[in-house]
Structure 1
Amino acid sequence: MQLSSLLTVALLPLAALATPVPQDADVVSPSELFKRRTPTTCSIVRAAVNCRSGPSTKYSAKKKLSKGSSHSFVCVVSGECITLDGSTNCGWHYSLSAGCYVNGHYTSSQCTLDPQAPPPYDAEMEKGPLLLLIAGANGDATIFQQIAVPLSEHFTVVAYDRRGFSRSELQGPQNYETRLATDADDARRLIEHLSKTPAIVFGSSSGAVVALTLLIRHPSAVRALIAHEPPAVNLLAEAEALQWRTFFNDVYDVYREEGVKNGMQKFVAGVLTREEAEHLRARSSSGDAPERSAANIQYWFEHEVRQYTSADLDVGVLKNLADRLILAAGMPRATVSRIGRIKLCRRSLGWIFWNYQGAI
């Protein structure tokens, strides 16, 4: 069963779990699926920024934006098309070397997002409770694109590129020692930005680890959580957990010594069945642009393949929140070893477990 089918079956019965999201003016529905929106607070980091009316004109003194000043226009990194109303139709193509379009002006400014602002997100705003979808290893919201439309009949569906992936470009130094906590805090800020009530959260793979961390750190933000195949090996018996930590460390070593391709081959051979591997290759070949996908994979190798799989999740807190937590897994054949491992966690912790026939 495809991940989209799992989402449909698993999430539709949860439609009555939360109050519908208020139709606040700040979270107006985009006119089409997955239109880019960003926080509305930024600061100028250059001493002064010259603006011009378009990409073919010379710099002029139409407007000066001083260092340290704040402005109300939507702000993203240099080179992206932005306007005051959140639309993406600027009327001309942008250039990475030239700058951004800002409400009729063209500027080469580099902006830093407010550290307390929610991450950029994509949304299909229809009706029903807020459903936040957290992507796994590729960190990219578009993995949920096909399922977002049918789910939007019952939910306000929101997905986002996790910090450091795809369009969520990093701004300034990052503390990678606390990256998982920051990832969870990003999700919490987004929920609070969009809704006055807790959200239903779905996380897959690494995204499931983020979602579990969100539940542990910010339980008031989560009404219900579906964790789809979280690779949280420290929840296993120590002997098996050690085997998996060693495996993921070996995967990282192969990546560093032999490159992304060989590192990914070792990873796939160790965690996926042949059918799942073929499905992953087919999906990858029709997904992101090659350069975007490659950057995401490399970022995942550096900051997640060892760190997120070996995260120490607070089992005591999770036990106390078991009524909000559902573990889910796809199963292409009658028996798959990882399903047994997840069931073991379920038996010891008292979690609800949903098992689906079919590939993830």
Structure 2
Amino acid sequence: MPAIDQSGMRRLNTAATLRVLTDASGTLTSADLVAQTRLSRRTIELIVGDLIAQGWVDEADSPAPTTAGRPKKYYRLVADRATVLSVGINPPLVRAVVADLRGREIARAEGPSGTVADTLDSALRLASEALAQANVDPDHLHALVVGLGGTFSPDGVVLTSPVDPEWVGVDVREPFARRFDVPVVVENDTNLSALAARAEGPARGEQTFALLMPGIRVSAGVVINGELHRGFQGAAGELVRLPDLRDANHRGLLAQISSPDERERVDARAHLRRAIDGDPAVREDARAFFDAVARVVAVLGWVIAPPVIVLVGGFEGLEDGTLALLRDALSTMDAPDIDIRVAALTPDFPVRGGIQLALDIAGATIFDPRR
């Protein structure tokens, strides 16, 4: 019988214990850790001692008054022992957010976009500013995600851009990888919005769904069995490339409902409110827009067949009326019966999704028993 690799087993048990502490909403006792890891009390005591020495865990006060007898020890994760960085390039703003191992925002920096070169320079500067504001050890940064519109090669070169053709051919990943010595991933911003919707938004907990952002860009983020579906060259969901859908969605003020410019979203929302209220002056505009959206929903429904489709845009306070207009358009089509949800899309969705993706990347190392 081959000898047991005691060192490997210790790393495996340490990774499992650290994962339990990370997933916990509060403090845990040794007994809690024993129950959840199924390790012996002595093993847990040794592992927790190591994690405290390494700065991953500290002792916490008792959440309730202690009674007679030996007091229990409570432990909690030092969440900012590992941090991630999410950078969102979503003109007219660039955002950089530092988050801890639980996804809690620690610091952020924002600034305007400009030309491609200026925007990249701004994104790098803001990323450094956010890390400085976070006041955490640079060695504790574990992953960085950059989100923007378009499709990208595996090494982060822009293949297509719905925002500005000047981005095509730009290596977005390289300057970040040169400045920050961590894994860097460049991802489509709608895909990142889908991850945010699953983690903390209208698709919370869903394993398979599609997030659809109608309007000028017409894009979708698809999650299948908990994983992003990117497709060939990352083009899955880039429906803006289909001329008939693009042209249909470009018509009228409602096309600005998912614009990154807040002023345009406000104007589109006012237009949508009039349509919901039955204003005949905007009826045809609304019908054309929602017919186009319904066609996309039907295509997604039949081709991907997700149980849930989330429609996102500047729909704050108008979710129910928007859903009614969409269902009316769908009633004339042979579309599958799908749970359709309408939600507001905040400018923070892509950067929040970037945090989720960065945490997944970091976790592959932090919770790897081979580390």
Normalised by the length of structure 2, the TM-score is 0.26
Instruction: Give 1 or 2 for the bigger CA radius of gyration.
Output: 2
